[in-house]
Amino acid sequence: MTENEIAKKLVELFLKIHRHLGPGLLESVYEEILCYELDKNNLVYKRQQAVPVIYEDIRLELGFRTDIIVCNKVIVELKSVEYILPVHHKQLQTYLKLTDKRLGLLVNFNVSLIKDGISRVVNNLGEM
């Protein structure tokens, strides 16, 4: 599957989850349910994957943890906050750069309409 095909499937799952649960729950609840749906749809993923940060000669083993990486291609960063801030987009952009991934989805489940809570973030490694 391409990044875009994975993203399309993920958006369908976000819509399904949000329709069923609505806004206002903890991020961890949405993460658990999304992983359940990924399993049901036979999509391979890694959850809370530690990613090292390398700076010059220093390797920090726990630079950050991704929420979910789907099919080793798309990073999903989940939020359940009042507002998505510009720093959230920049954070995901940094995650994409450090992992050499091209596409990330930033999802805020704490919105009335989930379509308003989904953002694509692209690492400019080339055309998709």
pLDDT tens-digit readout, 96-115 = 998 999 999 999 999 999 99
Closest CA to 13 of 37, 43, 48: 37
Closest CA to 84 of 110, 48, 123: 110
| Per-residue model confidence (pLDDT) at position 125 | 63
The band of 59, judged by pLDDT with boundaries at 50, 70 and 90, is confident
Mean pLDDT of 19-24: 95
Domain contains 91: yes
Query: pTM score, two decimals?
Result: 0.91
Mean pLDDT of 39-61: 90
DSSP 125: S
Domain contains 33: yes
Task: Output the domain CATH number for residue 81.
Answer: 3.40.960
Structure tokens at 79: 């939020």
Question: Is the Cβ–Cβ distance between 66 and 100 less than 8 Å?
Answer: no
- Tell me how far apart the alpha carbons of residues 85 and 57 are, in angstroms, rounded to a whole number: 32
How many domains is the chain built from?
1
Domain contains 127: no
Domain contains 73: yes
The band of 128, judged by pLDDT with boundaries at 50, 70 and 90, is very low
Question: Is the Cβ–Cβ distance between 23 and 81 less than 8 Å?
Answer: no
Is the pLDDT at 3 greater than 70? The verdict is yes
| Per-residue model confidence (pLDDT) at position 126 | 47
Q: Work out the percent of the chain whose per-residue pLDDT is above 90.
A: 79
| Per-residue model confidence (pLDDT) at position 64 | 81
Domain of 30?
3-122
Domain contains 128: no
Is the pLDDT at 127 greater than 60? The verdict is no
- Tell me how far apart the alpha carbons of residues 80 and 61 are, in angstroms, rounded to a whole number: 27
In DSSP terms, 50 is beta-bridged to: 65
Domain contains 76: yes
